[in-house]
Structure 1
Amino acid sequence: MTLKEYVKDRTVFLLTNFILFIIVGGIMLLVGINSQTVLLIFCIWFCPLILYMWIEYFKQKVFYDELTSITENLDQKYLLPEVMKEPETVEGKALYEVLRQANKDMHEHVKSYRDRENEYREYIETWIHEIKTPIASTRLIIENNQNDVTRNIQEEIKKIEEYIEQVLYYSRSNNVSKDYLIKEVPLVDLVRKVIKRNSRDFISKGISVNLEKVEGTVFSDAKWLEFILNQLIGNAIKYIRERNGKVIIHTVRNEHNIVLTIQDNGIGITEKDIHRVFEKGFTGENGRQVGKSTGIGLYLCKKLADQLGLGLTITSKAGEGTKVSIIFPLTNVNFMQ
């Protein structure tokens, strides 16, 4: 609050006093009272008034400056009523009560939406658990009736399982800290496990896999890392050339981190799309061409990597391929954010 703003806010009050004094002073002059007496009355009238307004201005300025400072330093602005001091002025107390009521109402609304979110997430997780039973039964039926048709069905079942897994990890992505176990993870074992999981797709598309010096051990959650790596390798398979496709996986150990890179010679990503691939729901030109993209996979990978304390970068050139790197800090624990 500036002095100019304060005076502007009190303009009507000051004008009223000046008009009243002019009327009173005019009457006094008309009845023969000398001008010195009128000037004395002016001083008696306005000196205490101006002094009072000056003191009030400084009190309000201190209050609002403190309020502004607290608000600027708060990450969660709605906590303002809980940390601010109760003001002494009537106006300040009224504002304080309004903020307290608004804060209380906001907390109730947030709790309501949070309860709904948790309820929905629990339902999704329960549904995923239940859907695994008929899928397992379908796989058993396929194993006992092997032919070209059932093999094709099995491939579709695999895709369904991957989408279900994606839904599960998406529903848990805001609560990673409640569902992780940090331990030593040998990268070569992790990579081989994911490659084996996608072996049918590699074989059916004639894609070769080259593991170039994949080594090193990191500290993270193996389950979440497997999901991220499976999404990245799945993308490489999806957007690779039908024949003569190649996926190269290697690690580089630096002073402060280990970088695991997945490189393919697929269709690549255009320059205008490369900066948006981690956005939720973004599919770009490749998504429209291939027609199988949801725009969730890379978004989810980035979100989980951030929460696990990992880096995730992507470089690409249209028509030449894509390179995705997971950066593991060389610490004993990748702390959750």
Structure 2
Amino acid sequence: MIKQFLIERRSWILLFVCLHGLFLFVASIDSAIPFTSILYIVFLSMIIFIIFLIIRFHRETKFFKSLEEWEQDLDVSAITPAESPFEKIIEQAMMNQTRRLKQEVSQNLVTLEVEKDELLAWIHEVKTPLTAMHLMIEDMNEDTLKAKLTYEWLRIHHLLDQQLHQRRIPFMENDLYIEQTDLKTVIFPEIRALQSWCLQKGVGFEVNLQVPSVLTDSKWLAFIIRQLLTNAVKYSEKSDILLASFERQGQTILEVRDLGRGIDSKDLPRIFEKGFTSTTNHHDNKATGMGLYLAKKAAAPLLITFDVQSTLGEGTNFTLCFPKRNEFINLQGM
């Protein structure tokens, strides 16, 4: 800040130096003017000028130092009040700008809330004809057409389900109910929901639950497992998917392992990114890149950690590590 201050005041400093240089020059060529006295006066004025600069530096830079330290979060109360007329012009312009931005942010938030509520209402409205459509598909006698329609119905159902939970995730802490949850009551309904798709692809399930229950929110755990099973079935063919729970170092572990196409090692660090599908199968138009992203987002408030191991062409193993009971002390409902 010292350098900037001196650059800002360089014209005044240069004027002061030139004027005193002129005094010394005149005193040196005019014998009637005592040179020693003028030199003494110049020396004293230089000291006074330096002290003046130091005082002005501290007074004039307080406002700008606070601007440098300002976090630019639309809160201008942390900025040092302006003193000089020019500083007040800057301060007033910033106040007007932040006031306008706050109004725009408030309006955008209201608009966003309205759109979110309308979308949620639309999703719930669509679920009614979707349920009726499923009942009609179940009544069909032609197995080939029935399997194709069931698969397409399932895709629509899961896409709507993802949209619904995507809107709820930012506020899911308000919806959590942590309790001892039986894994069978969560896993088996999700398997049954995928039954027709699995029969079409020749995919089976092997369930081995050494630890029968976990401490979590059953509704959000079901959503996470739904994304993992959907992914596993989508990329598997004529093979079994293993679901196993066990205890390791005092923590419950749930594994979802498939023998599908696997994930390329260079894609593994990115599979939980929003919208990321694949680099090896980039032509796959059916993938949205949202399932694993939403699963990871939903797992965070539940203190569930993800680990994934995969080999291209050999399958993928997702591991969910559940927290210990004392780690839930900060969660609502405990």
TM-score range, shorter chain: 0.7 to 0.9
Q: Does 1:41 align with 2:41?
A: yes
Please say which of residues 140-149 and 37-46 is displaced more in the overlay: 140-149
Give a deviation string over 1:249-289, Cα, whole Å, max 9, x none.
Answer: 11232335322110111111111111111111111145436
Q: Does 1:160 align with 2:187?
A: no
Q: What residue identity is the alignment partner of 2:270?
A: R
Over the matched positions of the two proteins, sequence identity in percent amounts to 26
The answer as to whether partners of 1:247 and 1:262 remain within 8 angstroms in 2 is yes
Q: Could you tell me which residue of structure 1 aligns to residue 307 of structure 2?
A: 313
Question: Could you list the runs of 5+ residues in structure 2 that have no partner in the other structure?
Answer: none
Q: Could you tell me which residue of structure 1 aligns to residue 182 of structure 2?
A: 186
Q: Could you tell me which residue of structure 1 aligns to residue 113 of structure 2?
A: 118
Give a deviation string over 1:25-63, Cα, whole Å, max 9, x none.
Answer: 444555521112212331343332211111222445666
Cα shift at 1:178: 3.5
Q: Does 1:173 align with 2:183?
A: no
Please say which of residues 172-181 and 112-121 is displaced more in the overlay: 172-181
Cα shift at 1:142: 3.1
Q: What residue identity is the alignment partner of 2:107?
A: S
Give a deviation string over 1:138-190, Cα, whole Å, max 9, x none.
Answer: 23333444433345323322221111111111222222224333333222321
Q: Could you tell me which residue of structure 2 aligns to residue 275 of structure 1?
A: 269
Between the aligned partners of 2:4 and 2:147, the Cα distance in structure 1 is: 78
Q: How does 1:42-191 map to 2 (within 5 A)?
A: 42-59=42-59, 68=68, 71=70, 77-78=72-73, 80-86=75-81, 88=83, 93-148=88-143, 149-191=145-187
Secondary structure of the equivalent of 2:129?
A: helix
The answer as to whether partners of 2:179 and 2:215 remain within 8 angstroms in 1 is yes
Between the aligned partners of 1:202 and 1:144, the Cα distance in structure 2 is: 19
Between the aligned partners of 1:81 and 1:282, the Cα distance in structure 2 is: 39
Secondary structure of the equivalent of 1:223?
A: helix
Between the aligned partners of 1:103 and 1:253, the Cα distance in structure 2 is: 53
Between the aligned partners of 2:197 and 2:138, the Cα distance in structure 1 is: 18
TM-score (norm 1): 0.86
Residue 227 (structure 1) aligned to one of 223, 226, 231:
223
Aligned-residue CA RMSD in angstroms?
A: 2.7
Q: Could you tell me which residue of structure 1 aligns to residue 252 of structure 2?
A: 258
Give a deviation string over 1:179-231, Cα, whole Å, max 9, x none.
Answer: 33333322232122222222222333222211123424333322121111011
Q: Does 1:12 align with 2:5?
A: no
Q: Classify 1:137/1:246 alpha carbon distance in 2 versus 1 (closer, same or farther; 3 Å).
A: closer
The answer as to whether partners of 1:279 and 1:299 remain within 8 angstroms in 2 is yes
Q: Classify 1:200/1:100 alpha carbon distance in 2 versus 1 (closer, same or farther; 3 Å).
A: same
Q: What residue identity is the alignment partner of 1:21?
A: H
Between the aligned partners of 2:87 and 2:49, the Cα distance in structure 1 is: 21
Between the aligned partners of 1:36 and 1:202, the Cα distance in structure 2 is: 105
Q: What residue identity is the alignment partner of 2:76?
A: P
The answer as to whether partners of 2:205 and 2:242 remain within 8 angstroms in 1 is yes
The answer as to whether partners of 2:74 and 2:102 remain within 8 angstroms in 1 is no
Q: What residue identity is the alignment partner of 1:107?
A: K
Secondary structure of the equivalent of 2:136?
A: helix
The answer as to whether partners of 1:186 and 1:215 remain within 8 angstroms in 2 is no
The answer as to whether partners of 1:216 and 1:258 remain within 8 angstroms in 2 is no
Cα shift at 1:87: 5.1
Between the aligned partners of 2:224 and 2:160, the Cα distance in structure 1 is: 15
